[in-house]
Amino acid sequence: MSADNPHQDPSQETPDPNRAPSEGSEDVAADTFFGVSDDQIDQLKQDLIDAEKRVLLAQADLENFRKRMRREREDELKYANSPLLADLLPVVDNLQRAIQSAGNSEQSGGIVDGIKLVEKQLLETMKKRGCEPIAAEGEHFDPNMHEAILQQPSADVEPGTVLQVTQVGYKLYDRVIRPSQVIVSKAPE
């Protein structure tokens, strides 16, 4: 019986880890350290290395997620005006048509000048917000920026060149809001 606990069975004594094993004792094998073998230690080291790698990967994934979310938020803010600008484009078209039709009449006088000023102001405001007309006439046809409504044979220019713009297209920064409707040249028959 143990001196500390008189009711304890002597066969159930627990070994004292602070006590050095006696010479004939088989409590601790030669290949163990506090009851843990070298193989188990190696396995624990490998598990620790694997856990560190997983932590680093999780941190990298989190940082990539943050960057992606920041970019998406910036894009949302940058292109938030797209629907409004798309709704304003028919207004710009109508102002330009009014200027063209009134320009043919000699009686319109100051009204045409007023409409031109309104059109200029509207286009400048749109430009401040990143919305600009797409250059098309004389340019090579680009299906990302232009919408071909007709092909016309022409010996004067290279095939695939925009001959005429029937409706001006606009882009917001680098995104097309509305493609330019154009007439494109083709080789003469």
pLDDT digits (tens, 9 = 90+) for 130-184: 999 999 999 999 999 999 999 989 888 899 999 999 999 999 999 999 999 999 9
Query: Is residue 178 within a helix (H) or strand (E), and if so which, with residue range?
Result: strand 175-178
pLDDT at 75 over 60: yes
Task: Count Cα neighbours of 134 within 13 Å in the Cβ-side half-sphere.
Answer: 30
Both tokens assigned to 75 = 């894009």
Per-residue pLDDT band for 36 (boundaries 50, 70, 90) equals: confident
Q: Convert the pLDDT of each residue in 19-32 to its tens digit.
A: 555 554 444 444 55
Q: Residues 114, 130, 103, CA angle at the centre, nearest 5°?
A: 25
Nearest Cα neighbor of 173 from 137, 126, 138, 141 is 126
Contacts 24+ apart (CB under 8 A), 68-74: none
Give the per-residue pLDDT at 33: 59
Per-residue pLDDT band for 115 (boundaries 50, 70, 90) equals: confident
How many other CB atoms sit within 10 Å of the CB of residue 169? 20
Per-residue pLDDT band for 15 (boundaries 50, 70, 90) equals: low
Q: Which CATH superfamily includes the segment(s) 82-186? A: Head domain of nucleotide exchange factor GrpE (2.30.22.10)
Give the per-residue pLDDT at 71: 95
**What is the rounded CA–CA span in Å between residue 60 and residue 52?**
12
pLDDT at 112 over 50: yes
Q: What is the gyration radius of the CA atoms in the chain, in angstroms?
A: 40
pTM of the model: 0.64
Contact 113, 95 (CB under 8 A): no
Contact 79, 172 (CB under 8 A): yes
